[in-house]
Amino acid sequence: MQQFQVPQFINIEDQIVGPLTLKQFLYLLGGSAFVIVTYSFLPFFLFLLVGLPVATLCSLLAFFKYNEQPFSKIIFSAINYYLKPRLYIWKNIPPPAHKQGEVVKKMDAASVPTLTESKLSDLAWSLDIKEKTKR
C-alpha cells in the first residue's frame, strides 16, 4: 500500500517574503508606496495628516488580529453591520378580504353522500367474499 503525506497546517498561510505572508507584504508595500508618494508631493504638515493614518491602517491590516480574526475581516464586518438593517420587524400580512360581490362557497352537509343501510350491507358482503376467496 502506498503512503502519502497529509498536509498538516492548511489553515496557516505560507510565508512568502521572509516572515511575511503575501497579504502582509502587499499591505505593507502599498502603504509604504502611498506614504512615499505623499511625502514627496505634499507639505510636511499635510503629509502627517494623510500619511500617518494610512501607515497606521496598513500596519493594522498587515499584523493586527483580534480574537484570531484579521483586521481586514473586522473592518468588513463593521461596514456590513452599519450598512445593513439591524432590526427586523415581522410584518404580518392579513389574509385577503373577500370582495362584496364574491360569494364564498361552503360545503353543505347535504352534498356529502350518505350511506344507507342496504349500501353498507352490500359493501360488507363484497368485502367478506374477497377475504374468503384470498384464503
What residues pair up with 78 in beta bridges, in sequence order? none
pLDDT at 115 over 60: yes
Asked if residues 21 and 13 have their Cβ atoms less than 8 Å apart, the reply is yes
Tell me: the pLDDT tens digits for 6-19?
Answer: 888 777 777 788 88
CA dist., res. 2 & res. 123, Å (int) = 72
**What is the chain's mean pLDDT, rounded?**
84
Q: Is the overall model pTM greater than 0.85, yes or no?
A: no
Average pLDDT over residues 35-43: 95
User: Could you tell me the pLDDT band of residue 104, with boundaries at 50, 70 and 90?
Assistant: low
For the chain, the domains span: 15-83
Tell me: the pLDDT tens digits for 122-131?
Answer: 888 888 776 6
Look up residue 101 and give its three cell numbers. 360581490
